[in-house]
C-alpha cells in the first residue's frame, strides 16, 4: 500500500505578518500543507478555525 503524505512548508503568519506572535510560536511562520490555501472561513483574516494564522489546516506546534 502506498501512503500519500502531506508536504508541509512554512508560510508567513497572517496574524502578525511575520513579526512573531503566540499563534506562530513567535517565529513569524506557520507550517501548512502544500499547496498553501488561505482559510476558507475567514479568507486569511484570522479566526478560530485556522488557529488565528490565516491558513487552512496549519500544523499545530507545541
Q: What is the C-alpha to C-alpha distance for residues 24 and 21, in angstroms, rounded to an integer?
A: 6
- Say which residues have a Cβ less than 8 Å from residue 5's Cβ, sequence separation at least 6: none
Domain membership of residue 22 as a residue range = 8-50
The per-residue pLDDT of the chain, averaged, comes to 92
Give the pTM: 0.85
In a domain, 32, yes or no: yes
State the DSSP H helix or E strand holding residue 44, giving kind and residue range, or none if neither: none
Confidence (pLDDT) at 5: 81
Any domain includes 45: yes
- 58 found inside a domain: no
Per-residue pLDDT tens over the stretch 24-36: 999 999 999 999 9
Number of domains in the chain: 1
Domain annotation covers residue 55: no
Q: Is residue 56 part of a domain?
A: no
Amino acid at each position: 500500500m502506498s501512503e500519500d503524505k502531506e508536504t508541509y512548508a512554512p508560510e508567513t503568519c497572517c496574524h502578525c505578518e511575520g513579526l512573531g506572535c503566540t499563534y506562530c510560536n513567535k517565529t513569524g511562520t506557520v507550517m501548512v500543507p502544500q499547496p498553501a490555501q488561505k482559510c476558507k472561513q475567514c479568507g486569511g483574516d484570522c479566526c478560530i478555525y485556522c488557529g488565528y494564522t490565516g491558513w487552512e489546516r496549519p500544523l499545530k506546534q507545541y
